[in-house]
Structure 1
Amino acid sequence: MIQGTGSNVGKSMLVAGLCRAAVKRGLSVAPFKPQNMSNNAAVTEDGGEIGRAQALQARACGLRPHTDMNPVLLKPETDMGAQVVVHGKRLTTAKAREYAMLKPTLMGAVVESFDRLRAAHDLVIVEGAGSPAEVNLRQGDIANMGFAEATGVPVILCGDVDRGGVIAQIVGTQAVLPKADADRIAGFLINKFRGDPTLFDDGYRMIEDHTGWRGYGVAPWFADAWKLPAEDAADLGSGSRGDGFHIACLRLSRIANFDDLDPLAQEPGVRLSMVGAGQVIPADADLVIIPGSKSTRGDLAFLRAQGWDVDLVAHVRRGGHVLGICGGYQMLGRVVADPDGIEGPEGEAEGLGLLDVRTVMGGDKHLTEVQGTHLPSGAPLAGYEIHIGQTDGPDRARPFAMVDNQPEGATSADGRITGSYLHGMFTDDGFRKAWLEQFGIAASGASYDAGVDDTLDALATHLETHLDVDGLLATAR
């Protein structure tokens, strides 16, 4: 089990790389994360949803994503509460204090999933969440040491040298842990070193001397990490990448499934900008994307608070295009109604009015992989749906696509405003090429999936070069 001294220290990337390294050694491997908090989710082959990082790790193992790989998923809807997904299905929505009381009842579901994976594979590599140093959360813990205690899984502690203070991160973690938990740690490793790793030799020995733990190496910064789907919105930044056709994406407060953009960011003819809070939508943007959101009405209010509604009107007046994906599609309509309070208080909100449609939240969450045809270009496409709510109205007479012989999405009369519930469609190389050609952009022709696999191979080689992977794998029992 890889645990971290904090969030975003690189646990997900390390697990993905170790999974691929173990597969290259001929082992049958599966990833596992007991509890994840993320609005970037993937649809699984068994009709549920898990964190996007576990889907990437499954790919590193040569497996299809399955709900057993992430049995508890928390999807934040507000600063105070989150949707609780267990074995791929929504269980409830709970505030932090409510979840603290619910959490101990979920250990059975967590261990059940882990045991199935352990029985089916030679090796399971587990990713912790946050940090075990949050000892105030130890009682009822299912994500870190509570899980390790319940299953007897040995722990490797990862520190992030790029943040600074990595000696204190690791030594301090040992200092605050109960002895029984500290004894579960088989060793440590250092991640994200920039420059000559030998410059940290003295610090490395200091950690070994202070903790008595074995060190498993120092992993330098992996420069190609950006080519892999990110799970944490904190990784997005607000800059621009590339040149050419300018796509501006709004970084919503509850942005979800933002890896939809990754294939576009890697097209040489595309310049992708993330527009953050307090920034204006660039006047030279050719296309604005309103991405998915875990809280459509909440992010509508956030969007207006940034003045982006005014910017969008000006963008459209200049002849620009707009694409709304999932929650972004719902925002483009005239009304978003939530009569049952599924995403927050009961009520409705006025939409942006750029599409003549209306959305009503309700019913079961729609979780499915889909194949269809993009109507403007006639190109086949593949993606997935993960949403609650139904959208209808006059602009649905001009669908974005046909899926299972049913119209999907909506388009304005002038063709410049489009909404769709389909996530992941830009990973389809043929569709991405056809979609870009509508705007006069020549796609690179590169295979996005092949690029991800090549990057996972490079990540595995990177870890093999700099870490004692033999020693890490030998800790498994």
Structure 2
Amino acid sequence: MARAVMLQGTGSDVGKTVLVAGLCRVARRRGMKVRPFKPQNMSNNAAVADLLGETGGGEIGRAQWLQALACGVPPSVHMNPVLLKPQSETGSQIIVQGRLYGQAKARDYQTLKPKLMDAVLDSWQRIGEDADLVIVEGAGSPAEINLRPRDIANMGFATRADVPVILVGDIDRGGVIASLAGTHLILPDEDRAMIAGFLINKFRGDATLFDEGIRAVNRFTGWRCFGVVPWLKGAARLPAEDSVVLERLSAARGGRLKVAVPVLPRIANFDDLDPFRAEPQVELVFVPPGEKIPSDSGLVVIPGSKSTIGDLIALRQNGWDRDLADHRRRGGHVVGICGGYQMLGRTIRDPDGIEGSVREIEGLGLLEVETTMAPEKTVRNVNARSLHFDLPLSGYEIHLGRTTGPDCARPAAMINGVEDGATSTDGKVFGTYLHGLFGSDAFRARFLETMGIEGSGVNYRADVEAALDEIAEQFEKHLDCDAIFDLAR
């Protein structure tokens, strides 16, 4: 097995994903064959990893896709063997090694965890076969000791795989000394012994002002500090994984074009919109529940959804259907992606109750199409072509259902020789099942031209690569990377 080290956090959203990605890029720049690994992830922001020797692909968390990019290797389903995709407040779809395993309520899932540990350890063995170093990301916090007996994401994995742990504290949210010392206090001896030290993340200003804080944590815990990471501006240019950060992702600048995105309860794959954040003439606004879609928006994007019918109901409850109707009367553009595409049609039918008890619902009526849900799930990376502009596209599909109707006679794209999507008669509304289309720079530039934005020269993928390099350079300055890599065993 490759040597390995694991980053766990004192809580969720402490920045583990970016830290792992940055350390992966540091190791890669030093000439190491490095791989990411996250035993269990919970996110509706999924990516597609090709399955070796098989057609189609498998689902992993978008964070592990980013970390694979940092390593310079193709994403693998074994980088994230268990992915939970929330469908309701209490239940999730379970993806194991890229494939749909089933659905479970939160309480029932706890009883499944011991069975899933076998898949985690199998993927762990596979991911380390061709690597010098594996950097592991935990989930949530090891301080959730009520979940420890069946844990597969944090100390349950670390103790089984004998991987040393560095604990991450987020100083930006406050209480970092208490969170680190409190975690040390409540962990059982076996788990506490796995932690070799800590690092502080998201520090703003002069880091020497926290020197006494480091000494205090050391007095309480005996753990050494591996460094203090400053607030990373480059992190804002990386795809975000968790929808809890959406309110921070809106581009705070003014722009010639305002792009509005309603934040649906089960919003999925919202990184489809990240390329707009990189455009200097575009203002991207994520509209939270309870607020109106801005009347000065030139484009409204209805994003993907893990629960299309439920999110369509929520969209109406927020009055966004009326906002969209007003937007169209003003001549505004609308794009629907995947679940958002399905919502734009006349009707959505779910005869098998795949999404719940609602078997049929009226859509928004902005496209003359209708959708029927079906059990078969399409999961694949694709190369496609825009039929609007005759330009190449790249992206992926993750969806249930089939959409047909008169507006499909004006498809948006050609995917593997098959027409995809639909366009309104005036050309200002279109829908597609293709995720990632706005990441294709030439297409995005032409699309923006139709709304009066010219001169887009943004290379989105190159900007993500540059951000990873900037973060790696910051880590070399502010973290003891030698000690972190030496810790791995």
Shared fold (TM-score greater than 0.5)? yes
Query: How much does 1:183 deviate?
Result: 0.4
The equivalent residue for 1:43 is: 48
1:280 aligns with 2:275: no
Deviation at 1:31, TM superposition (A): 0.1
1-structure distance, mates of 2:357, 2:471:
44
| Native 8 Å contact 1:379 1:434 kept in 2 | no
Aligned to 1:62: 72
Correspondence for 1:84: 94
Q: Deviations for 1:333-371, whole angstroms, at most 9, x for unmatched residues? A: 111112222222251211111111111111321111112
Do residues 414 (structure 1) and 426 (structure 2) align? yes
Instruction: Pick the aligned partner of 2:23 from 14, 18, 40.
Output: 18
Could you tell me which residue of structure 2 aligns to residue 313 of structure 1? 325
What residue identity is the alignment partner of 1:395? D
Answer with 283-292 or 396-405: which moved more: 396-405
Rounded to whole Å, the distance in 1 between the matches of 2:301 and 2:173 is 32
CA distance in 1, matches of 2:365, 2:340: 12
Is the Cα contact below 8 Å between 1:267 and 1:443 reproduced in 2? no
For the pair 1:156 / 2:161, whether they are aligned, the reply is: no
Partner of 1:247: 259
Find the aligned partners of 2:427 and 2:444 in 1 and give their Cα distance. 18
| Per-residue Cα deviation, 1:211-248 (whole angstroms, up to 9, x for no partner) | 01111111111012110000011111164444111111
Following the alignment from structure 1 to structure 2, what is the Cα–Cα distance between the partners of residues 230 and 380? 25
Partner of residue 226, structure 1: 236
> Does residue 1:201 correspond to 2:211, yes or no?
yes
In the alignment, does 2:398 pair up with 1:386? yes
In the alignment, which of 175, 189, 192 is matched to residue 199 of structure 2?
189
* Partner-residue secondary structure (3-state), 2:114: helix
2:38 equivalent to 1:28: no
The 2-side partners of 1:249 and 1:192 are apart by 27
How many angstroms apart in 1 are the aligned matches of 2:426 and 2:26?
Answer: 51
Cα distance, 1:268 vs structure 2: 1.4
- Residue type of the partner of 1:134? E
Corresponding residue to 1:441 among 425, 438, 453: 453
| Secondary structure class of the residue paired with 1:31 | strand
Using the TM superposition, give the Cα deviation of residue 405 of structure 1 relative to its aligned residue in structure 2, in angstroms: 2.2
**Number of residues of Structure 1 aligned to a counterpart in Structure 2:** 477
Aligned position for 2:312:
300
- 8 Å CA contact 1:244, 1:270 repeated in 2: yes
Q: What is the TM-score normalised by the length of structure 1?
A: 0.98
Deviation at 1:186, TM superposition (A): 0.7
What is the one-letter code of the residue matched to 1:392? T
Partners of 2:481 and 2:331 lie apart in 1 by: 54
Q: What is the CA-CA distance between 1:255 and the residue it aligns to?
A: 0.7
Aligned runs of 1:76-225 on 2, under 5 Å?
A: 76-225=86-235
Deviation at 1:273, TM superposition (A): 1.1
> 1:14 is aligned with what amino acid?
L
Distance in 1 separating the partners of 2:376 and 2:476? 44
| 8 Å Cα contact 2:353-2:359 kept in structure 1 | yes
Runs of 4+ in 1 over 4 A off after TM superposition: none
The DSSP-based 3-state class of the residue aligned with 1:85 is strand
Deviation at 1:288, TM superposition (A): 0.5
Counterpart residue number, 1:329: 341
AA matched with 1:51 = G
Shift of 1:443: 4.0
Q: Is the 8 A contact 2:383 2:394 kept in 1?
A: yes
CA–CA separation in structure 2 for the residues paired with 1:254 and 1:363:
19
Which secondary structure does the structure 1 equivalent of 2:380 belong to?
A: strand
Instruction: Give the aligned partner of residue 478 of structure 2.
Output: 466
- Return the alpha-carbon distance in structure 2 between the equivalents of residues 346 and 94 of structure 1: 19
User: Following the alignment from structure 2 to structure 1, what is the Cα–Cα distance between the partners of residues 75 and 230?
Assistant: 29
Unmatched 5+ stretches in structure 2 = 1-5, 52-56
What is aligned with 2:3? none
Partner of 2:54: none
Match of 1:357 in 2: 369
Question: Post-superposition shift, 1:440?
Answer: 2.5
Native 8 Å contact 1:340 1:346 kept in 2: no
Secondary structure class of the residue paired with 1:50: strand
Cα-Cα RMSD: 1.0
Query: Contact between 2:354 and 2:375, CA under 8 Å: does it hold in 1?
Result: no
SS of the equivalent of 1:399 reads coil
SS of 1:365's equivalent? strand
Task: Give the fraction of aligned pairs with identical amino acids, expressed as a percent.
Answer: 58
Give 1:264's aligned residue.
276
Structure 1 contact 49–367 (Cα < 8 Å) conserved = yes
Is contact 2:422-2:430 (8 Å) kept?
yes
Structure 1 stretches lacking a partner, 5+ long: none
- Cα distance in 2 between the residues matched to 1:223 and 1:135: 34
Query: Which is bigger in relative contact order (C-alpha 8 A, separation at least 6)?
Result: 2
Which piece of structure 1 moves more, 332-341 or 232-241? 232-241
Q: Residue type of the partner of 1:42?
A: A
Task: State the Cα deviation string for residues 109-152 of structure 1 (Å, max 9, x = none).
Answer: 00100111112100000000000000000011100000001100
